[in-house]
Chains A and B, each alone.
Chain A
Amino acid sequence: MTRKSLTARILKTFAFTALLAFNFAGVFAQSIPTDDANISNGKSLFDANCKACHSVENKLVGPALKNVYDRTPSVEWIFSFVRNSQKVIKGGDEYAVALYNEYNKTEMTSFDSFSDEEILDILSFIKNETDNPAVVEVAVADSGDASQNNEAVSSTYLNVIVVGLIVVLALIFVVLILITTVLTKYVNNKDGLDDIDKEVVNQSFSLGATLTSKPFMFLAVFLFTAIVFKVVINGLFSVGVQMGYQPTQPIAFSHQIHAGQYEIDCNYCHTGVMKSKNANIPSPNICMNCHSAITKGTNTGEDEIKKIYAAIENDQPIEWVRIHNLPDLSYFNHSQHVNVGGVECQTCHGPIEEMDVVKQQSLLTMGWCVDCHRNTELNTKDNKYYDKLVELHKEDSDKALTVEDNGGLECAKCHY
């Protein structure tokens, strides 16, 4: 083979490859439309049909669809895979089989009703998302920082005011001392002062004399007795009352994020509240309904959520600290109050959805229970059980039927 022919051949091959690549790119560009109408149609189709298992950016049940048109064998391959993936896999297509095995043999639902145009619209939406990734997250983070900065600024501002005021007060104090010294000197130097005048001018402030004076002693004794009395009475009244108890929990779980920000119903985790005496503390399998995928917390990052995974891995229960410790001498049943009585959780537990760390909001004393039983009216509407009771009650009283009237203050209702 001559040198010339070899060069020609190489050139030819190169030209052919370039042509092929160019052609392919041309076909490709034609295949995926870029019109806004196509993209928005693709978005609605994607939201309605694909979103359950796919996202453009993240791997969910199925792979992330970013660049899917580049990495799969061809657009035609995508058509047939979307319409019936099992057929493609059983046909022995190498890429399809590898994909099927990578995703633990999860079968993709067949969308045989999709036309070529519809699938192309979905691809145009994916291409649009791939080329212009959403920037929502960054914006959220920025706004969070801004609000934190605002708070920091306002607190330093307050500090500056306080320090300023203290400095001004100190200056006034110094100036006043100076004035009195100057005045004393001036008066002393003046002629014609008798002894009494001099004594008045030069009288010195004696700490000992003030402390031992009768009015001061009376005041001191009175103040101390009052304070001690108040503290002792308060101390006695707080015996057996755990209001405000806010223990540190083994995991820094925030009700503010779960029940407040994400609006998860209390009942979702506290499964016993409608059925049993206890509202129930959720077991880690309930956490895992969401934290199987959400591995990073809003406040604490990954550290606290990792404790759930550790508990499951080691089969070691999480030892939550019980906050509401009703004494054993009284009986309380959640279902009776929440299910039958229709009491909201917040009535007794306070604004749980705003608490980062839960604390005991209510007194939980007998007086507190009894007050509520006296003032709460029973919902007797459309309930035949109460018809006769309401009738009898109306004979003696013109007020509504309360929990008290239905035996809510009987000793043995709670103490037995």
Chain B
Amino acid sequence: MRDIHMNLLKSIKSAVVLALGVAMVSCAGVDNPGLEYAPNMYHSVAYEPLKQITDENAGDWVQMDQENSNYGEYYSSNPLNPNRMNMRTPPANTIARGKSPYRVAKDDLDSAANVISPYPEGNEAILKDGKVLYEKFCDHCHGKDGITPGKVGDVFLGVPAYNSAAIKDKPEGHVFHVITHGKGRMGAHASQLSVDERWRIARYVQKLQKQ
């Protein structure tokens, strides 16, 4: 009888230890993503954008080719790039394939006013796209109607109404230029919007100016 008890106590003890161990692994803090299944299929061998593992020994234990490889399985970082990132900014003064450059300088609003939209007047599809883009990229400052500032505009301050005397007659090229380079307190939005998208928004802003 006593032996049985001893065994029982032992097994209870080991069960508690096991349970505690599993519990510790499963909630090892908010910064731990947990265990990976088949980890050498989780980490890309090729450079992935928006991902970077700079530790050269990361994933040593699953490295298949221990002899010929200098790095761990998970290592993903390009030592030739600034900050060893996997992505890099395009070199200065280059043009991406399929893109056309916009060369009007930031302060040259007079020339900008003469730039003409690639889309013909009265193209309803462009206006519709412009509205969709406007509501994503502009309305939190300029407001849905382009007159009453949106919620960000309320705290950012200095958001003009499109139908104000100073703005209501500005041509489409001017609007495009301001989206591209910013003006006054407004920042440049060229990194967020392609040339094509900017022209679409400009078309919709033209409509809002005529209220």
Contacts and interface: CB of A to CB of B under 8 A. Distances in A.
Chain A partners chain B:
yes
Given A60-B157, A231-B22, A327-B42, A245 B34 contact: yes
Interface in B178-203: 184-189, 191-193
Given A51-B161, A113-B165, A248-B31, A268 B185 contact: no
A193 to B, nearest CB: 34
B150 interface: yes
A275 to B, nearest CB: 8
B83 A247 contact: no
A301 B19 CA distance: 43
A49 B189 contact: no
Contacts of A265: 135-137, 140
A285 B37 contact: no
B156 interface: yes
B19 A227 contact: yes
Interface stretch (A73-81, A149-157, A170-178, A290-298): A290-298
B41 interface: yes
Choose among B33, B35, B36, B191 the residue with the greatest number of A CB atoms under 10 Å from its CB: B33
Contacts of A221: 8, 12
B192 A271 contact: yes
Given A240-B36, A294-B155, A322-B51, A61 B136 contact: no
Interface stretch (A5-13, A276-284, A346-354): A276-284
B90 to A, nearest CB: 13
B127 to A, nearest CB: 18
A52 B159 contact: yes
Contacts of A263: 140, 150-152
B62 interface: no
A219 to B, nearest CB: 12
A408 to B, nearest CB: 22
A281 B191 CA distance: 13
Interface majority SS on B: helix, strand, loop or mixed? loop
A261 B36 CA distance: 36
A51 B33 contact: no
A239 B26 CA distance: 9
B187 A289 contact: yes
A63 to B, nearest CB: 12
Given A51-B159, A51-B160, A267 B136 contact: yes
A212 B193 CA distance: 75
B25 interface: yes
Choose among A268, A286, A317 the residue with the greatest number of B CB atoms under 10 Å from its CB: A268
Given A248-B31, A322-B50, A51 B19 contact: no
Contacts of A106: 184
Contacts of A278: 49-50
Given A58-B157, A231-B23, A280-B50, A290 B152 contact: yes
Contacts of B166: 49, 52, 109, 111
A238 interface: yes
Contacts of B31: 247-248, 321
B211 to A, nearest CB: 11
A360 B187 CA distance: 32
A325 B33 contact: yes
B97 interface: no
Contact of A47 (B15, B150, B161): B161
B42 A328 contact: yes
Contacts of A52: 158-161, 164, 166-167, 184
A280 B50 CA distance: 7
Contacts of A325: 33, 42
A328 B41 CA distance: 6
Contacts of A267: 136-137
Contact of A238 (B35, B167, B186): B35
Given A267-B137, A289-B189, A317-B85, A238 B158 contact: no
Contacts of A247: 30-31, 33
A100 B31 CA distance: 53
The 4 A-B residue pairs whose C-beta atoms are closest, nearest first, are A52-B160, A240-B37, A289-B187, A60-B158
15 contacts: A60-B158, A60-B184, A111-B165, A224-B15, A227-B15, A228-B19, A234-B26, A239-B35, A247-B33, A285-B187, A286-B192, A292-B187, A293-B185, A328-B43, A329-B41
